[in-house]
Structure 1
Amino acid sequence: MLPAQAATMLKLQDQLNRRINPDWTRAGQRFLRAAFVEAAEALEHHGWKWWKKQTLDLPQVQMELIDILHFYLSHAIVAHDGADGASRALMADLAGGDDVLLDGKTYSLPALDIPELLELLGGLAVCGRASFKVLATTMGRCQLTWDEAFKQYVSKNVLNLFRQDHGYKEGTYIKEWNGEEDNVVLARLMAGLEAARPDFAEQLLAQLEQAYAKLK
């Protein structure tokens, strides 16, 4: 994870949250409760029931991890008094060691399998704690790199903001663009951009604007 990527995600999360509630940082929302629920849902998609046959749905597990990332970012902004403090805390967390202490027990992240990592994410959340290190380790085990997670996160947020700005709530937004859904267009535009650029989100939004304007 690059510092510029962390800053971009935190900025987008703040923008999206403000669109929902301009005073969101003082609303007392339980972001880690939401992270706990997402971890449990990811565990369901992975499979954990030893008494029946289950099939791993890796894309769905990855999607739940991206959702946890959304709630972690929101929590970090509130916990560290803004995006700047949250960014520093996020990078420091990722640079930390592979041992996590919870309820008097030390967990070595390299020794844990995916269900155990998901349980740890949930356990930490119940205790009011977030660990970007544990989340990153879990993503890695689920074949999700930070670069790919960043792309998925940014694209989802940019599209959500774009929809709101173009009448999604009012019902005037056009979701199908010349025979393609907007998320398909988004994926194509995203593939042509360099995600490491500090203005990645702005470039993606600008290209969405250009493509949407051609529909009118």
Structure 2
Amino acid sequence: MLTNTQLNTMLNLQDGMNIKVNPQWLTAGYSYLRAAMIESVEAIEHHGWKWWKAQKLDLPQVQMELVDIWHFALSHLIIQHNGDIDAAADAIAKSLLESHTEVTFDGNTINFSNATLVENLELMAGLCIAKRFDVPLFLKIVEQAEMNSDALFSQYVGKNILNFFRQDHGYKEGTYIKIWDQREDNEHLVEVLDSTNSQLDNYADVIYQELEKRYPN
């Protein structure tokens, strides 16, 4: 289960990134759940669902889509609580403690604990269309995609910090160097994540600092 420290870290990072994009993001009217719905459908594509052709599950890509969905979900949840990070964190924590396994959608009660990964991705997409996001359902999907809460946290923070790092080092201006020592920045990020304790209170800061050490001057 995601800890309060992890929830606050992710929510603050998401707020910070959104502010970087648009300081008035809370009232801009962006459809974050539409974006989450699109990512849900893309995850279904990466999983494979077509009965008329051979398809192979691409689990790493499904996991990446889930991390992207979480970015949009956190944004939606912050807006729901009028920008109050602590209130959003408390609401998520409360829903996780309740740990329900059913949602009501289109007049039907659906037990997602017994559904397949594709069925749950489809359900999440439907809820997003209806402007709803269910955190226990999402974490069930994360579990079905062979991730745990710590892996979600680590991958989320890593991607968020890399985005910050790119912006701070000239990504928008076109001066950012993406390949260091013959490897792309995301490969360096994976190494940094593997060697850093995700339980650190300043985990995000440490990730940024380690990327800074590796980046060519």
Q: CA deviation at 1:191?
A: 1.4
- Matching residue of 1:166: 169
Q: Equivalent residue of 1:53, what SS? A: coil
User: Which one-letter code corresponds to 2:52 in the other structure?
Assistant: W
User: Which one-letter code corresponds to 2:187 in the other structure?
Assistant: V
In the TM superposition, 1:58-73 aligns within 5 A as 58-73=59-74
Candidates 125, 147, 150, aligned match of 1:147: 150
Structure 1: unaligned runs, 5 residues or longer: none
- Matching residue of 2:3: 2
Q: Deviations over 1:19-67 (max 9, x none)?
A: 1111100101111111111111111111112222221111111111111
Per the normalisation by structure 2, the TM-score is 0.95
Q: CA deviation at 1:194?
A: 0.8
Candidates 73, 92, 95, aligned match of 2:94: 92
In the TM superposition, 1:91-130 aligns within 5 A as 91-96=93-98, 97-130=100-133
Distance 1:61 1:178 in 2: 29
- Matching residue of 1:38: 39
User: Which one-letter code corresponds to 1:53 in the other structure?
Assistant: A
User: Which one-letter code corresponds to 2:4 in the other structure?
Assistant: P
Q: CA deviation at 1:81?
A: 1.7
User: Which one-letter code corresponds to 1:99 in the other structure?
Assistant: E
- Matching residue of 1:52: 53
Q: CA deviation at 1:128?
A: 0.7
Per the normalisation by structure 1, the TM-score is 0.95
User: Which one-letter code corresponds to 1:44 in the other structure?
Assistant: E
Q: Equivalent residue of 1:75, what SS? A: helix
Distance 1:140 1:100 in 2: 18
- Matching residue of 2:78: 77
Q: Deviations over 1:112-160 (max 9, x none)?
A: 0011101110111111101111110001011011111111110011011
Q: Equivalent residue of 1:159, what SS? A: helix
User: Which one-letter code corresponds to 2:168 in the other structure?
Assistant: D
Q: Equivalent residue of 2:49, what SS? A: coil
Seq. identity, %: 45
- Matching residue of 2:27: 26
Q: CA deviation at 1:178?
A: 2.3
Give every structure 1 segment of 4 or more consecutive aligned residues whose post-TM-superposition deviation is greater than 2 Å.
Answer: none
Number of residue-to-residue matches in the alignment: 214
RMSD across aligned positions (CA): 1.1
- Matching residue of 2:187: 184
Q: Deviations over 1:171-200 (max 9, x none)?
A: 111222222222122211221211112210
Distance 1:143 1:203 in 2: 26
